[in-house]
Amino acid sequence: MSDDRLKHYRESIDNIDAALVFMLAERFKITQAVGRYKAETGLPAADPGREVRQIERLRALANDANLDADFTEKFLRFIIEEVIRHHEGMQTG
């Protein structure tokens, strides 16, 4: 690609994507620790009230950031589904 302006944009997108990947890796480290801790202490795995509060908070943050709130909610649900998949793996593996 010889277009300098496009190259410049794409470098920024690639930087952000790398940051997102490492941020997600850190997030899953914490949710895995939460899963272990809940299993050890006998706390229930699911907490529907917590999820509702997370979604409300992220929708408000999305508005601040001029990001589509519905997309942001879908994004959080997408990540939470992966967290549940991890926890199921912990129980069976």
Cβ 70 to its own copies shortest distance, Å: 10
Nearest 5 degrees, angle CA 23-CA 25-CA 10? 50
Half-sphere exposure for 91 (CA within 13 Å, toward CB): 10
- The answer to whether residue 17 forms part of the interface with its own copies (CB under 8 A) is yes
Q: CA–CA separation, 83 vs 38, rounded Å?
A: 14
Using CB under 8 A, pick the residue from 2, 3, 4, 42 that binds its own copies.
3
Summarize as ranges the residues that interact with its own copies (CB under 8 A).
1, 3, 5-6, 9-10, 12-14, 16-28, 30-31, 33-34, 37-38, 41, 43, 50, 54, 57-58, 61-62, 65-68, 71-72, 75-76, 78, 82
